[in-house]
DNA sequence: CCAAAACAGGACGGTATTGGTCCTGTTTTG
DNA sequence: CAAAACAGGACCAATACCGTCCTGTTTTGG
């Protein structure tokens, strides 16, 4: 089906929520209530995002989470990498040779890179700031944005 | 980890192999031998690709498979859709309302589309023809025009 | 100084999806 | 009519994911 994990999905919802109300600080229970995402999940996800330096946390009774950078400087690619691990869309991207049995005879090796780049590039082209804007011209910042250049 | 399934991975290898030697017809055992992919898998995948009209098959003793269209008209997106199902990168793309619990309060709804489009677009931008070319300047054939702005 | 609220960091099991094999047809060649 | 190859599924084993829970540690404020 080719989809990202629910963790990343949730993560984007949470971060968007946070970005739309930037400045303030939100606790996990608070975010869970507002997004209707089960609290344990919210908690788990936020913790991961802190470790990846996309959020900063404040402990204690009046604790909570806030964005670590400006919305414009957090991309969807960042979020997905943080929550689902590196964007290794195809199998043979590891730079370590020998990891793939094909290697010697494989005619696509280099092309995997190409595909990975394309996807990564597309995801890097979308920031949290973009996601908070209600998308004025419907779906058409694509051609002008990243990703199109891949094609020529 | 965000990767496509092995089926799609294999599929791309197989199709690239086929595209590089277009015109001819290859049997499943033949392809299995040349790509070192287990025969049952090869068979399974090729059958799927036939159903999706990306390959044409010929039965009988001297049977085999050949591309259904020109390499330039088969995109990586086609292959992935055929083998892994529709590219529904995020959860809430179904146009049928009610499929998501968030719906009412969700501020990202429209943005899922944006993300999906970006990924799909990127994958539609790569054709089999591209994959058969050994990619001259390493990963930098981005702006069709030779070595202009890349720099850095 | 202590209790409550919130973050930190893992461990854990149930479930869905995938990867891979195999079996039983049907079509074609010679 | 036998062999080679495609067609179409059924079928498990392993894996990854989703979601929960438990045991700390830090901060607030009475
Ligand atoms: S498939 Fe692994 S190197 Fe090509
Ligand atoms: S998350 Fe489903 S509609 Fe927004």
Q: Which nucleotide across the nucleic acid strands is nearest to A61, CA versus C1'?
A: C5
Place of tokens 């959860």: B91
- What's the gap in Å between B55 CA and the centre of ligand 2? 37
pLDDT in tens, A20-75: 998 899 999 999 999 989 999 999 999 999 999 999 999 999 999 999 999 999 99
Mean pLDDT on A110-119? 85
Place of tokens 């010697």: A104
CB-strand contact A61/C, under 7 Å: yes
Pick the more confident residue, B53 or B108: B53
C-alpha to C-alpha distance for B4 and A112, rounded to whole angstroms:
12
Task: Calculate the average pLDDT of chain A.
Answer: 82
Query: Is A2–B88 a contact, with Cβ atoms under 8 angstroms apart?
Result: yes
How many inter-chain contacts (A to B, CB under 8 Å) are there? 155
Helix axes A6-20, A28-35, angle to 10 degrees: 100
Residues 6+ apart with CB under 8 A from B7: B41, B44, B45, B48, B83, B84
Q: Whose CA is nearest to atom 3 of ligand 1?
A: A103
B43 exposure class (CB count in 10 Å sphere: 0-12, 13-18, 19+)? middle
- What's the gap in Å between B112 CA and the centre of ligand 2? 8
List CB contacts (< 8 A) between B76 and chain A: 115
At residue B1's C-alpha, the angle toward residues B81 and A13, to 5°, is: 85
SS3 letters for A54-113?
CEEEECCCCCEEEECCCHHHCEHHHHHHHHHCCCCCCCCCCCCCCCCCCCCCCCCHHHHH
Q: N- to C-terminal Cα distance for chain B?
A: 29
**What is residue A149's predicted lDDT score, i.e. its pLDDT?**
38
**What is residue B139's predicted lDDT score, i.e. its pLDDT?**
45
CB-strand contact A48/C, under 7 Å: no
- Ligand 2 atom closest to residue B101's alpha carbon, by position in its atom list: 2
Residues 6+ apart with CB under 8 A from A141: A130, B114
Regarding the beta carbon of A102 and ligand 1, being less than 6 Å apart is answered yes
- B147: confidence class by pLDDT, cuts 50, 70, 90: very low
Residue B38 sits at the chain A interface (C-beta within 8 Å): no
Residues 6+ apart with CB under 8 A from B89: A2, A3, A4, B112, B115, B116, B119, B120
- What's the gap in Å between A125 CA and the centre of ligand 2? 21
Residue B109 sits at the chain A interface (C-beta within 8 Å): no
Does position A143 have pLDDT exceeding 80, yes or no? no
Does position A102 have pLDDT exceeding 90, yes or no? no
> pTM score, two decimals?
0.84
Query: Is B108–A147 a contact, with Cβ atoms under 8 angstroms apart?
Result: no
Does position A104 have pLDDT exceeding 50, yes or no? yes
């Amino acid at each position: 089906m080719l989809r990202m994990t629910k963790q990343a999905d949730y993560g984007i919802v949470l971060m968007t929520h946070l970005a739309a109300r930037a400045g303030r600080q939100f606790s996990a229970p608070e975010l869970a209530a507002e997004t209707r995402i089960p609290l344990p999940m919210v908690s788990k996800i936020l913790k991961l995002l802190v470790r990846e330096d996309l959020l900063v946390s404040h402990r204690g009774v009046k604790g909570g989470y806030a964005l670590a950078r400006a919305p414009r400087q957090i991309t969807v690619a960042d979020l997905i990498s943080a929550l689902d691990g590196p964007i290794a869309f195809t199998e043979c991207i590891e730079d370590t040779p020998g990891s793939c049995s094909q290697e010697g005879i494989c005619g696509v090796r280099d092309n995997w890179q190409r595909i990975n780049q394309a996807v990564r590039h597309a995801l890097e082209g979308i920031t949290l700031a973009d996601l908070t804007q209600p998308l004025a011209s419907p779906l058409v910042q694509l051609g002008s944005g990243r990703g199109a250049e891949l094609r020529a």
